[in-house]
Amino acid sequence: MNLLKSYFLPRLSQWLITILIGVTVTFILPRLLPTDPVERTLSTLSSLQTMDPRAVESLKEALEDLYGLGGSPFEQYINYWKRLIRGDLGPSLSAFPTPVIEIIGAGLPWTVGLLTCTIFISWILGIVLGTLAGYLPKKLWCQIMDKIFISIYPIPYYILALILVMAFCYHFQVFPLVGGASGKPEISWSYLSSILWHSFLPATSLIVGSTAFRFIMAKALTSTIIASDYVNYAETAGLSRWRIVLFYVIRNTLLPQATDLGLSIGGIFSGTVITEIVFSYPGIGYSLYMGLLQADFNLILGITVFSIVGIATAALLVDLSYPLLDPRVRYK
Amino acid sequence: MKIIKDLFKYHLSFRFGAIILLLIFLLATLSFFSPYEAAKRRVVPKNEAPSFDHIFGTTSLGQDVFWILTFAIRNTLIIAGLAVLIGRSIAVILGSFSGYVGGTTDRILQSIVDSFIVIPRLPLLILISFVLKGELNFLHLALILGFLDIAWPSKRYRSQILSLREQEFTYTAVFSGMNTFKIILKEHFPFFIPYLLADAVSGFLWAIGIEITLAVLGLCDLTTPTIGTMIYWGNYYQALLMQRLWVLAAPVITSIFIVVGFYLISTSLSEYLDPRTRLKRLGTRE
C-alpha cells in the first residue's frame, strides 16, 4: 500500500502529464505554423491528381471536420481529445479511406519486434561487456573494445545504417534490402527464418549503436562501484571474481541502467524509425516515411501522436518494474 | 591554454580528436577559397570518378565533391553550432533557475522537462518540418533543433546546481554576505564551464545527426549544401545502385570524422575537468 502511494502514483501521474503535454504539442504545432494544413493537404492532393471541384469542396469540409477546425480553439482542443480517446486518428489521405490506426496496427508488430529485440540484446551485451571492461581495465582486449565502442557511439544512426547497407546489401550482397519477410505469412520454418533474415541487418545497425551507449555507461558505473567498500570486502573475503562481477557489480549497475532505459526508449525509437526507412522495413517508421513522401499529413500526425503515447507507456512500464530490481524500494 | 597544452601532450584521445578537428576546420575554411559557387550546378562534368582534376570525383548534379564538401562541412557546423548555442543557453537558465528556486516551481518545471525527455523527438521533428516544408531554412532548423534539445541538459544543470548549492564553500560565501547573483557568477560558474563544454559537444553531435536525418528525408532546404543534403542528392541519383560510391563516401566518412573528433575531445575534457572529481579534490583538501 505504501509502495503504491509513494512509488506508483507519482509515476502514473507523470505518465499522464507526459501524454497531456505531448498531445497538446501536436495540437498546437500545426496551428502555430504559417501554413494551413487543410489548404496544404488539398494543394498537394490536387497536384498529384486532377480532382473534381465539388470533390475538393467536400474533402475540404471533411478535413476541417477531421482536424476539428470549427469552433473556438478550446472546443477544438476538447474535440481533439475526444477523438483520440476513442482511438480515432482519422483516415489516411494517401490510402483513403483506410483509417490511420489500421496502418499503424499493420506496422506495429514489426516495430515492436525490432525495438524489443534491440533493447534486450544491446542491454545484455552492453552491460556485460561494459562491466568487464570497467572491472578489468588493464586487459588489452578490454582496452581495444573500449576504443571501438567510443568511436562507434557518436556516429548517427542513419550513418551506421547506411554503412551497413553499402557493405552488406550492395558490396557483398549478403542480405536483402527491402521488406520484412518473404513468402506468405504462416507459421512455418521458411517464413519465420525469412523474418529473421530480413531483420538481421536493421537490428544489427540499431544494436551496435545502443550497445555502445550501454557499454560506456556500464563502464563508468563499474569504475565507481569497484572502489566501494562492499566490493573491497568481497575481494578480501576471497569470493571468486565471477561471483563479484555478477552479484555485486552488475547487480548494482543495473539500477541506474534501468532508470536510464525508461528515459532513452524515445531515443531508441527514433533510431528504429531511421533504420526502418533505410532498410524499407515495414514498421510504423516506414509508414511515417511513406506518409512523408505522399504528403499525408493525417498519417504523420497520427503516427506522431501514437508514438508519443506508446513511448510514454513503455517508459512507464520500465519504471514500474524498477522495484523488482531494487529491494530498497520494495521494503521502504 | 596550459590545460590544452597538457592535454595535448599527455592525453592520447585528446590529441587524436584535436588533429581531426583541425583538419575539419581547415576544410571548412577552404570553402571560402572555392573556385565554384556553393549552390551552382553543372559546373563540372557529371558523375566522374575521383581523378587528379577532381580528387573526390564529381556528383550527378555536376559539382566537384571536394569543394561542395567544404561548403557542406561549414554549413553543418554552423547549423549544429547555432542549435547548441540556442538550446544550451535556454537550458542553463532553465536548469539553474529551477535548481535555485526549488519548491513547487521546481516540481512543475521538472515534470514538464521529464515529459520532454520521454517524448520521442524524431516524429515530432518530422511533423514540424513537414508542416514547414519549403520554409525550413538554416536558422529555422537551428532554432527548432535548439528548442527540442533543452530537456536533458537542463535536468543535468539543475542537478549540478543542487549539488553545488550544498557545498561548504557556498555556505561560506552566503554567511560572509555575498549576494546570490555574485555567488552564481564567481563561485559556481567556474565549476559549470567545463561541464558545459562537454555537454555542448553532446548536443552538437545530436544536432549533426538530426540534420543529416532530416536532410536525407528531404525535409531541409535542399539547395544549401550540408552533409545531409549531399547524402540526399547522392541517394536521389541512386549513387549506390550506379556504383558511384565516391558521392556518398565523402559525406559519410567526413561525418564520422566530425562526430568522433568532437566526442574524443569532449570525453578527454570531461575526464580531466569533471566537476565531480574537482569537487572531490576540493573535499580532500579541506
A288 touches B: beta carbon within 8 Å: yes
Listed residue (B53, B135, B37) closest to B45, CA to CA: B53
| pLDDT computed for residue A323 by the predictor | 82
CA angle A225, A229, A230 (to 5 degrees): 80
In a domain, B34, yes or no: yes
List the single residue in B with minimal CA-CA distance to A16.
B115
Q: Which residue has the cell 509515476?
A: A11
State the Cα angle at A274 between A269 and A275, rounded to 5°. 90
Reported CATH class of domain A108-293: mainly alpha
Name the residue in chain B with its Cα closest to that of A158: B213
Alpha helix ranges (H) inside A153-188: 157-164
Which helix (H) or strand (E) segment holds residue B115: the answer is helix B103-118
Below-70 pLDDT ranges, chain A: 1, 33-38, 40-56, 58-59, 61-71, 96, 177-187, 332
> Which of A162, A278, A290 to mutate to test binding with chain B, by most B CBs within 10 Å of its CB?
A162
pLDDT recorded at residue B102:
80
* Residues in chain B within 8 Å Cβ distance of A303: 123
Interface of A with B in 201-240 (CB under 8 A): none
What percent helix, strand, coil does chain B show, rounded to 5? 75, 0, 25
* CB contact A23 to B (< 8 Å): no
For residue B118, tell me if it sits in a domain.
yes
CA distances from A146 to A139, A141, A217 (A): 11, 8, 11
The pLDDT of residue B281 is 47
Instruction: Give which of B110, B118, B136 to mutate to test A binding, by max A Cβ within 10 Å.
Output: B118
The DSSP secondary structure of A112-126, one letter per residue, reads HHHHHHHHHHHHHHH
List all residues of chain A from 51 to 80 with a beta carbon under 8 Å from chain B: none
CATH of the domain at B227: 1.10.3720.10
- pLDDT (0 to 100) of residue B279: 55
Residue B235 lies in a domain: yes
Task: Specify whether the CB–CB gap between B188 and B161 falls below 8 A.
Answer: yes
In the prediction, which pLDDT does A329 show?
73
Report how many domains make up chain B: 1
Beta-bridge partners for A99: A91
Q: How many CB pairs under 8 A join A and B?
A: 136
Weakly modelled stretches of chain B, pLDDT under 50: 281, 285-286
Torsion from C-alpha of A36, A37, A43, A47, nearest 10 degrees: 150
Give the burial class of A305: count Cβ atoms within 10 A of its Cβ; 0-12 exposed, 13-18 middle, 19 or more buried: buried
Residues in chain B: 286
Q: A258-269: per-residue pLDDT in tens?
A: 888 888 888 899
Residue pair A167/A158 in contact (Cβ under 8 Å)? The answer is no
8 A C-beta contact, residue A183 and residue A190: yes
* A40 at B interface, C-beta within 8 A: yes
Mutate to test the interface with A, among B122, B133, B242 (most CBs of A within 10 A): B122
Which among B120, B245, B259 is the nearest to A269, CB-wise? Answer: B120
**DSSP code, position B48:** P
Select from A18, A17, A21, A29 the least CA-distant residue to A300.
A29
Per-residue model confidence (pLDDT) at position A322: 82
Q: Residue B40: which domain range?
A: 2-281
CA distance A268 to chain B (A): 9
How far is the C-alpha of B245 from the C-alpha of B127, rounded, in Å?
A: 31
User: Tell me, what's the pLDDT at A308?
Assistant: 93
Give A138-185 as a DSSP string.
TSHHHHHHHHHHHHHTTS-HHHHHHHHIIIIIIIS--S--S-S--S-S
Q: Check residue A97 and report its DSSP letter.
A: T
- Amino acid occupying residue A223: S
From the CA of B180, how many Å to the nearest CA of chain A?
Answer: 32
In the block, residue with C-alpha cell 523474418: A195
Alpha-carbon distance values, A172 to A101, A169, B175 (Å): 38, 6, 70
A26 and B117 in contact by Cβ < 8 A?
no
* Contact of B210 with B84, CB cutoff 8 Å: no
- Across the strands, what pairs with B58? B64
**Residue A294 touches chain B, beta carbons under 8 Å:** no
